[in-house]
Amino acid sequence: MTAHVWQKSSYCAQGNSCVHVATHGGTVKLTESGDPTGAILRTTPTALRALLRALKEEHLDD
C-alpha cells in the first residue's frame, strides 16, 4: 500500500483544526489533522470542485 503524501490546507491556522488533502490514482482524499490515519473521505476532483464552488457561492450570498 502506498503512503499518502498529505498537504495541509492553506487556510489552516495553528493547531489541529485543519483539513489535509492527498491525491492518488485520480482520487482526492481528505482527512483531518487531528487524526490523519482515521476517517478518510474519498471523492473525485470533479465532485470536490463542485462542492467548493457551491460553498463559495453560498458564502457570497451572506
Name beta bridge partners: 19.
32
> Is 43 within 8 Å of 30 (Cβ atoms)?
yes
pLDDT at 14: 67
Residues contacting 45, CB < 8 A, separation 6+: 23, 26, 28
pLDDT digits (tens, 9 = 90+) for 2-61: 677 888 877 777 666 788 889 988 999 988 877 767 788 999 999 999 998 998 887 666
pTM of the model: 0.69
> Is 12 within 8 Å of 18 (Cβ atoms)?
yes
pLDDT at 42: 94
Q: Beta 19-24 vs 7-8: how paired, if at all?
A: antiparallel
pLDDT at 60: 65
pLDDT at 43: 96
Picking from 38, 3, 1, 35, the residue whose alpha carbon sits closest to that of residue 22 is 3
pLDDT at 50: 94
